[in-house]
Amino acid sequence: MRITRETLIRIAKETAQKRALSDPGLVAAYLTGSLRTENPFLGNSTDIDIVFVHAAQPKVRREILPLTPEIHLDITHNPRSEYDKPKELRIHPWLGPELYDPLPLYGTQHFFEFVQAGVRAEYKEPVNVLARTRQNAEHARQIWSGLQLSQETGPALLISYLKSVNHAANAVALLTGAPLAERRFLLQFQERAGAAGAPGLAAGLLGLLGGAHLGAATLGEFIKDWEKDFVDAASRNRVHPSIAAPRLGYYKRSFEAMLAGESPQSILWALVHTWTLSAAVLPPTHAAKWRAACETLGLAGEAFTERIEGLDRFLDTIEELLENMAASQGL
């Protein structure tokens, strides 16, 4: 079977229709993520990102359902109450971009007319663009501040660090578009940083992940060890949805494609993030390869202090960028 973007969009529509028939509390459903782009495939793999909006609080917030080894459904469940103030959503750094241009799959109660009217009005005005980006920058700075006094160690500490890096990078990305896709995080950031007039931030972001001087051979070895830990972690109970078993091929195929391309270091964001989530649920004795990789990347031990200091400088640059943009707009 030849799988195309159109095939997957049809599956998304059919999935929404089936859920609507079985769930009378379903208010709306919409498609977001990579299938809203012209080329959703990376390494011949992708996912189908669907958001279901429920009248009541959903029991599960996210579910991962396999279709093939390379493709799965990634379904988010939100309560209708999160959409009650659409004018506020236009400055929400995640829901705002998501609702600005989704593909509606199912709707009742004039959901899309009501919500999108509020979101799209003045969405691209500089004051609202800066409001979205500032929320991310401020959140990144708060997490960075917490790292100074954190009692966390091991995977928990690195997860906090990566959250700060994620919000910082997306503060820049939101200046010119939607949040960064997980697998294309580093690839997209390079373009977004340039569009924001700060191309040097791309090298800074790669440095925060310790990948400035890594070659394809080392990264290839990382993938082998990452896969073993991912499989081990995914087999356990109550794991983070990002490391659910159906997502193995989704990540692995994309890593292999990027490793064979011009920017092999682009695998680092998704690799380090999912490997750390895996290490967080594994016994310490099972995470030796993860620890060794973190030491190579400077994300553990004494070198990690330098990474945190680098994050401080990275945030300083972003904050200055936002201040200059606000001043140029008279805001």
Strand ranges in 40-164 using DSSP code E only, listed in sequence order: 46-54, 62-68, 71-79, 103-107
Whether residue 165 lies inside any domain: the answer is yes
- In the block, tokens 């109450």 appear at 81
Q: Which percentage of the chain shows pLDDT scores above 70? A: 100
User: Residue 238: what pLDDT?
Assistant: 87
Instruction: Say yes or no: 173 and 66 in one domain.
Output: no
Residue 256 reports pLDDT greater than 80: yes
Rounded distance between C-alpha atoms, residue 45 and residue 252, angstroms? 9
Residues 93 and 115 in one domain: yes
Query: Is the residue at 326 inside a domain?
Result: no
- 135 and 94, same structural domain? no
Q: Tell whether 22 and 88 lie within a shared domain.
A: yes
Specify whether 20 is located in the same domain as 137: no
* Residues 72 and 137 reside in one and the same domain: no
pLDDT single digits (tens) 146-198: 998 888 889 999 999 999 999 999 999 999 999 999 999 999 999 999 999 99
Flag whether 193 is in a domain: yes
My answer on whether 89 and 145 are in the same domain is no
Same domain, 188 and 231: yes
Looking at the domain assignment, is residue 327 inside a domain?
Answer: no
Residue 235: the pLDDT is 96
Q: What is the CATH number of the domain that holds 63?
A: 3.30.460.10
Predicted confidence at residue 327, as pLDDT, reads 95
Question: Using an 8 Å Cβ cutoff, are 88 and 99 in contact?
Answer: no
Residues 105 and 184 in one domain: no
State in Å, rounded, how far the first CA of the chain is from the last one.
54
State the DSSP code for 123: T
Q: pLDDT confidence of 213, banded at 50, 70, 90?
A: confident
Instruction: Mark whether 153 and 280 lie in a shared domain.
Output: yes
For 30, half-sphere exposure in the C-beta direction (CA atoms, 13 angstrom radius) is 21
Mean pLDDT of 109-122: 94
Question: What's the pLDDT score for residue 212?
Answer: 84
Domain boundary among the residues 120, 149, 184 is at 120
Report if residue 323 sits inside a domain.
no
Does a structural domain hold residue 324?
A: no
Tell whether 20 and 144 lie within a shared domain. Answer: no
**Which domain does 111 fall in, by range?**
5-120
Spell out the residues 6+ positions from residue 294 whose beta carbon is closer than 8 angstroms to its own. Answer: 158, 300, 304
Instruction: Using the CB atoms, write b or e for 223-232: b if 16+ within 10 Å.
Output: beebbebbeb
Give residue 1's pLDDT band: very low, low, confident or very high (50, 70, 90): low
The count of structural domains within the chain is 2
Residue pair 90/128 in contact (Cβ under 8 Å)? The answer is: yes
Final residue in a domain of this structure, among 72, 102, 120? 120
The reported pLDDT for the residue numbered 2 is: 77
Query: Are residue 227 and residue 275 in the same domain, yes or no?
Result: yes
Which of residues 74, 89, 120 is at a domain's end?
Answer: 120
- Check residue 58 and give its pLDDT: 96
